[in-house]
A and B are shown apart, each in its own frame.
Chain A
Amino acid sequence: MTEYLKPVDRESARRYLDEHRDSAKIVAGGQSLSLLLRQGLLDPDVMIDISDVDEFSGIETGPDRVSIGAVTTYEQLESHPVSSTVETLGDSVDVIADRQVRTAGTIGGAISHADPSLDIVPPLLCLDATVRIGSVDGERTVPLEEFHDGYMAADLAQNELVEGITFDGSASDWESNYAKHSRVSGGWATVGIASRVRTTDDRDAFTDVRIAAAAVGDTAVRLSSVEDALIGEPTDRETVADAASNATADIDPLDDLSGSAEYKKHLARTLVERSINRTVDRTGGVR
């Protein structure tokens, strides 16, 4: 019979995981785990529920760093000011599942689950977020871009857990957006695109551009071909449309029930264009 452990501090969470390693499964919100258990894909001997660990909970904002604890729920992120200041985060949380799933689902659970269609990942890639990973040996950090290292795969050893995610959210001269298409409202993304840009003071040209995509391959990815095509270029609609056509260079979508690979490539181009234009509009629009 499975044992259910409920550590209340970081030390005991790390210790329990170290003792039980691959016979244990971490429980955060349980929104994805419940499905895996029901389908019989998992049958852990030990479950370690970390949702009451204070050190893993909540959002801290410093002068230049935003730190989100692993068991922070989507709902907590949605109602935190950082969802308005970093708009791509707010846009993304707004279109994830529904209010029930957002009440229970956590940021750390999502990132650990490593599904390539997760909506929260592209915004975090555009923020150059870093994953904080803990074990009895202490803490290490890994860029999110490297953390997801294959389909549903994360760079975690058997005795390691995700404790939080950190990014620089201070620069107020960035604007951002997340654009998603799904077959039903609240459904998983067919394709999702985050963009985050900085422009010259007169809004004439892009000085920095970050674009990332979900549901376009084994992992979410940055679209560097689009980024490179825009830096230093004018912010007008035509330039953006031209650059968006490069999106297909960086993606390798699958044919599946949500659409054919060809369709998803088309969708990615369209959503890249839409997301960047919306971001430009937020800077005050094309002059």
Chain B
Amino acid sequence: MTEISFELDGEQVTTNVDPKTPLREVLRDEFGKKGVKSSCDSGRCGVCTVHLDGDAVKSCLVLAPKADGRTVTTIEGLAGETDDLHDVQQAFLDKFATQCGYCIPGMIMTAVDYLEDGEYSGERAEIESALKGNVCRCTGYEKIVDAVEEVANSRS
């Protein structure tokens, strides 16, 4: 077993893992972060996307020891200490971007990374490209892009 310690949604945590375990399993099973969804098991669908030191990664493709000494943020910690929603979460609500909802945590984590990673144009084609690693099987893409576009425009 390998001991790993990291900051998870604002809290310092430590656990022992088989190093072959993906971070997703540790987040869901060890720390109850069921907001991190689980689906395709092949890195295609993006529902398990979290931030590692602020960058969006697919937690099913990140070996758990890679989190050691770093900061992991899930959808559950995105809004921080406040009871309010993060502005990207709020925009998804306002634009009716949520259908069944299963892809939304990953979708939002990727969108936040895109919006916080320096320069963006906010053009729809660029947003679509930024989100291409996240699949919505309700095919609600138009509303999802509407939501991200709204935040892009309101922030710039």
Contact = CB atoms under 8 A, between A and B. Distances in A.
A51 B66 contact: yes
A99 B56 contact: yes
Contacts of B49: 100
A2 interface: yes
A98 B62 contact: no
A103 interface: yes
Contacts of A100: 46, 49, 56-58, 61, 110, 133
Interface residues of B, number: 29
Contacts of B46: 98, 100
B66 A185 contact: no
B7 interface: no
Nearest to B64: A4
A27 B19 CA distance: 11
A275 to B, nearest CB: 20
Contact of B1 (A1, A51, A99): A1
Contacts, number: 75
Contact of A185 (B22, B56, B57, B132): B132
B56 A35 contact: no
Given A2-B18, A35-B61, A101 B43 contact: yes
Contacts of A75: 55
A1 B55 CA distance: 30
B87 to A, nearest CB: 20
A34 B63 CA distance: 7
Contacts of A33: 63
B65 A49 contact: yes
Contact of B43 (A2, A4, A35, A43): A35
B60 interface: yes
A101 B1 contact: no
B20 interface: yes
A155 B155 CA distance: 50
A118 B1 CA distance: 34
Nearest to B19: A4
Given A4-B19, A37-B20, A97 B60 contact: no
A38 B41 contact: yes
B141 to A, nearest CB: 12
Interface residues of A, number: 27
A103 B63 CA distance: 14
A35 B43 CA distance: 8
B20 A2 contact: yes
A103 B55 contact: yes
Contact of A101 (B20, B22, B58, B63): B58
B130 interface: yes
A162 B65 CA distance: 22
A49 B133 CA distance: 25
B146 interface: no
A18 B29 CA distance: 36
Nearest to B129: A185
Interface string B31-60: 000000000011100100100000111101
Q: From B1, B2, B19, name the one whose CB has the most chain A CB atoms within 10 angstroms.
A: B19
A166 B114 CA distance: 31
B60 A30 contact: no
Given A2-B19, A34-B62, A103 B1 contact: no
Interface in B1-38: 1-2, 18-20, 22
Given A31-B43, A31-B61, A49-B66, A99 B130 contact: yes
Contacts of A2: 18-20
A77 B66 CA distance: 21
19 contacts: A1-B18, A3-B2, A3-B19, A4-B63, A30-B62, A34-B62, A35-B42, A37-B20, A38-B22, A47-B19, A47-B20, A99-B56, A99-B130, A100-B110, A103-B56, A104-B58, A104-B62, A185-B129, A186-B132
Interface of B: 1-2, 18-20, 22, 41-43, 46, 49, 55-58, 60-63, 65-66, 110, 113-114, 129-130, 132-134
Given A34-B60, A98-B133, 8 more contacts: A2-B20, A34-B22, A34-B63, A49-B63, A49-B65, A98-B46, A98-B134, A100-B133
